[in-house]
Amino acid sequence: MKLTLPVSHLLAALTDANGCVESRPTLPVLSHVYIAANAETYDVTVAATNLEQFIYVNVGGATVEESGAWTVPAQLMLDFVKTLPKDESCTLELSKNTLGALNISCGKAEADIKGISADEFPMRPSVFENGNTIARFSASDLLNNLKRVAYAAATDESRPVQTGVYIKSEEGTLSLCTADGYRLALIEKETNQPEGQFILPASTAKELLKLLGDLDGEVTLDLAVQANAVLWRLGYCDLVSQLIEGKYVNYRQIVPGLNTHKTRITVDRNELTRALNTAKLFGKEYSKGKQPFALVLFDLAPLEGYEEGTLRISATSVELGDYETALRVGVDGEANFRSAFNTYFVLDAVKACGTDRVVFEFTEGTRPAVVKPDGDDTYTCVIMPMHRRED
């Protein structure tokens, strides 16, 4: 194997592939990236896998003198290429001096990086070789939809079904749902996609968000039921992921019943975000696994010194002190409400709304709150209230 390519192109491919490298590999080769070159087509591929995800990145701008493939430690390769001048080219070839090593040279810089034979690298499921495309998405739409729900997936591996993003197309409606037991995020919008459903691991959704960041155009989706896997074709790369098996929670039993609210308020998103970011500095931090936690109190109850239509936001900590602010809000229904929430959960929901004003719907303090974008019925977030010590 021998090829020459721009350092910037190789660096971009290694960076994309690194997201699928196994951090605690059960096999040594899973901590490696696979590099393959074809002298006939000038195709160069950088790949990585953790056995749940496979990524294959096509690298452009290469000149290939000899075909071949090899694997090298992913982090070492990435770190070394980062030290090379981005505006120059580098040459990769099997080392003539060190057995089992890949030689990388750029100007006067040169390194032999020991690796493992490409024959030991696991390849993606062969069921995708025929390219059975079942759906097409706009890259920007897929990016925005995943952003609005991925944050609410569970991190507790004891509930594997809830660690994924549930994606379903049925009767002209595309639904994406996540729920971690404390909150639920749901998108429902019109679609012309074929009917079907699957649970995508949240880790894959987050990887897609990274890869879709600068991508324009169309994303195609291949689904291999017999392999319980899905292939996302992103133009410059392919991302394959195993799917989560199991039956997802019936979110339709949760959301419709919450529409019978007693209080509905509309608030400026930027003002609320500033208030919540300050409140979390004072909210007492409790241990909630991997989830950050800070208690914030929402109070719409009539209080002396506050005008009607004022939402009081407060946080308190014995160690740190107290914080309080008041926001003018639009009120529909009963102007009497008080409840506590995890500040971080509210911030996530408010950010996902994306509109200038955000709607909150409440029934009573011990019941979940519904968060929606003002004027956008496609997105809903449900947040469970938190217990306060004085309750």
Per-residue pLDDT tens digits for 61-86: 999 999 999 999 999 999 999 999 99
Q: For residues 365 and 335, give the distance between their C-alpha atoms in angstroms, rounded to a whole number.
A: 13
Q: For residues 368 and 351, give the distance between their C-alpha atoms in angstroms, rounded to a whole number.
A: 19
| Model confidence, pTM | 0.89
Which residue did the predictor score with more confidence, 112 or 387?
Answer: 112
| The predicted structure's pLDDT at residue 288 | 52
Give the containing element (helix H, strand E) for 315.
Answer: strand 310-317
What is the arithmetic mean of pLDDT over 187-213? 92
Tokens of 121: 């690298």
| The predicted structure's pLDDT at residue 391 | 46
* DSSP class of 194: P
- pLDDT tier at 304, thresholds 50, 70, 90: low
What region, left, alpha or beta, does residue 42 occupy, with left being phi > 0 and alpha being psi -120 to 50 degrees?
left
CATH of domain 256-383: 3.10.150.10
- pLDDT tier at 242, thresholds 50, 70, 90: very high
Q: In 3D, which of 144, 180, 230, 227 has the Cα closest to residue 344?
A: 180
What is 2-120's CATH superfamily?
Answer: DNA Polymerase III, subunit A, domain 2 (3.10.150.10)
Q: Under CATH, to which class is 133-182+191-248 assigned? A: alpha beta
Q: For residues 372 and 337, give the distance between their C-alpha atoms in angstroms, rounded to a whole number.
A: 18
Give every strand in the sheet of 89-94, ordered side by side: 63-66, 2-6, 89-94, 101-106, 109-114
Q: For residues 123 and 306, give the distance between their C-alpha atoms in angstroms, rounded to a whole number.
A: 65
Sign of the CA dihedral 193, 250, 206, 293?
A: positive
pLDDT in tens, 334-364: 878 889 999 999 999 999 999 999 999 988 7
| The predicted structure's pLDDT at residue 257 | 55
- pLDDT tier at 59, thresholds 50, 70, 90: very high
Instruction: Inform me whether the pLDDT recorded for 207 exceeds 90.
Output: yes
What is the arithmetic mean of pLDDT over 30-41? 96
Domains 133-182+191-248 and 256-383 share a fold: yes
At what angle are helices 343-353 and 269-282 packed, to 10 degrees?
160
Q: Which of 48-52, 148-152, 165-169, 304-308 has the weakest average pLDDT?
A: 304-308
Question: Is the CB of residue 18 less than 8 Å from the CB of residue 72?
Answer: no
Residue-range domain boundaries for the chain: 2-120, 133-182+191-248, 256-383
